[in-house]
Amino acid sequence: MTAPAATDRTSSARPFSYPRPGSSLHCGAVSLETLAKKYGTPLYVYSADQIIERLQMFQAAFAQREHLVCYAVKANSSLAILKLLAEHGAGFDIVSGGELERVLAAAPQATCRVVFSGVGKTAAEIDLALNAEILSFNVESEAELDLLADRARKLRKKARFSIRVNPDVFAETHPYISTGLHEHKFGVSMKTALAMYKCVAQNRWLEPHGISVHIGSQIASADPFGAALDRVHTLVRQLERAGIAINAIDAGGGLGIDYHARAFDPEKRVQAYAKAVNTALHGFQGKLLIEPGRFLVAQAGALLTRVVNVKRNGKKTFVVTDAAMNDLIRPALYQAYHEIVPVKPRAGKPRAVDVVGPVCETGDFFARDRALGPIQPGDLIALLDAGAYGMAQSSNYNTRPRPAEVLVEKSKARLIRRRETIADLLATEII
């Protein structure tokens, strides 16, 4: 990477840029230097404008058909972000009772737009969701359908459900986040799904709502989505022949972004995705649900961190930051790449460094042998595309309080989560 021709250091797919030559990195109109001074580091910074822009890209791409974007809460479950999305018409895909409690706290008006996925729903979680009158349960096994019927009968609440099918479609992505093959734990086969719908057709507490599918995450090409939905559509027809009407198809989430600095046009990607989905649905007239997570929030967020020191070991140079794997685990867990940019670029030749955190594990790194311009202790750097699965997967490993979070709306920044304190961490423990 070459040094500070600052404006081309970030692509237009990101809200982070250097507004003028020589200026520091901004989120929209807000300077990250100012935010670091005010709120400290490590700090997650998100652009509300970009999150809404991305939501609207999906809404526009599917405007021709009845649809609902159910944001996958797991990607970033901060209450302010849920509220923002709900205000712009989003529903939610949840995977736990805890995520439902978040929706209830942030946007109670949106519980009727919630779908509940996940392979291990407990009776207590099902009860919570039945009482909240969510839109639909994405059922992942025969045992779960039995449990749902049982809880619905006990609570005297009708449960709408979609069976999650496993289409046996290969999605080219990291093996830990691929879900659509028979060898994975998710969903049931098409054959089993057909039998399950038929089996409960007469159950007065269960109402078939749709069919759901989710083949994995960080998928760049639209083709696997088309292939999966093609199979789902075959099942719709089989069910129709059996007299079972399907009102909705839930196509899951998984559309990927480009973590590298290559030119990336998010709008084109959404349009290609919409085209593949619409083609595969062959004129299906029911409602389409989609569950994007990463695509809505990843590029809206950055993790801002201060360099604690720069250390040399033999030939290697280590830039040690005050953020660590507990704040952003994606590089350690999935060998994920995150672009790293200086907040105030210094003139000078780039050279290869490892960017690491202070946690006592060799796996605690953000980048290895990355060409970066000169960096000195005390400098601020930003890890880009960290809005999805960053804070949501953070932990207190090494008894490190988790970062604060700031949401930038137009030219205003506001704290949406205060930094944890050590007292917060110790509060639940008993000696």
Of the pair 18, 186, the CB lying nearest ligand LLP is at 186
Report strand pairing: 365-372 vs 26-27.
unpaired
Six token digits for residue 37: 């001074």
CB of 422 to ligand LLP, least distance (A): 27
Least CB distance to ligand LLP at residue 97 (A):
16
User: Do the beta carbons of residue 157 and residue 131 sit within 8 Å?
Assistant: yes
Nearer to ligand LLP, 39 or 225 (CB): 225
Strands in 7-90 per DSSP E: 16-17, 26-27, 30-31, 43-47, 67-72
Minimum distance, C-beta of residue 229 to ligand LLP, in the bound complex (Å): 14
By CB atoms closer than 10 A (0-12, 13-18, 19+), residue 119 is: middle
Q: Which is nearer to ligand LLP, 69 or 319 (CB)?
A: 69
Nearer to ligand LLP, 318 or 334 (CB): 334
Length of the chain: 431
DSSP string, 294-358: HHHHTTTEEEEEEEEEEEEETTEEEEEES--TTT--HHHHH-----EEESSPPSS--EEEEEE-S
Q: Which is nearer to ligand LLP, 253 or 301 (CB)?
A: 253
**DSSP bridge pairs for 301:** 46
**DSSP code of residue 94:** E
Backbone angles phi, psi at 150, to 5 degrees: -65, -50
Closer Cβ to ligand LLP, 213 or 380, answer by number: 213
The single residue of 27, 70, 112, 360 carrying the catalytic annotation is 360
Binding site for ligand LLP (CB under 6 A): 72, 75, 93, 117, 177, 214, 217-218, 252-255, 291-295, 330, 334, 388-389
The set of residues, in sequence order, having a beta carbon less than 8 Å from that of 38 and lying 6+ positions away, is: none
The answer to whether 236 touches 284, Cβ cutoff 8 Å, is yes
Is 360 catalytic? The answer is yes
With respect to ligand LLP, which residue has the nearer C-beta, 81 or 343? Answer: 81
The alpha-carbon radius of gyration of the chain (Å, integer) is 23
The nearest distance, CB 431 to ligand LLP, in angstroms, is 34
The distance of Cα 337 from the centroid of its chain, to the nearest Å, equals 16
Spatial separation of the C-alpha atoms in residues 280 and 77, rounded to whole Å? 31
CB of residue 235 to ligand LLP, shortest distance in Å: 18
Tokens of 367: 């980048």
Indicate the angle between helix axes 266-280 and 223-241, nearest 10 degrees: 30
Q: How far is the CB of 123 from ligand LLP (least distance, A)?
A: 21
Q: Contact 386/302 with Cβ under 8 angstroms?
A: yes
Query: Residue 225 Cβ, how far from ligand LLP at the closest point, in Å?
Result: 11
Catalytic center residues: 360
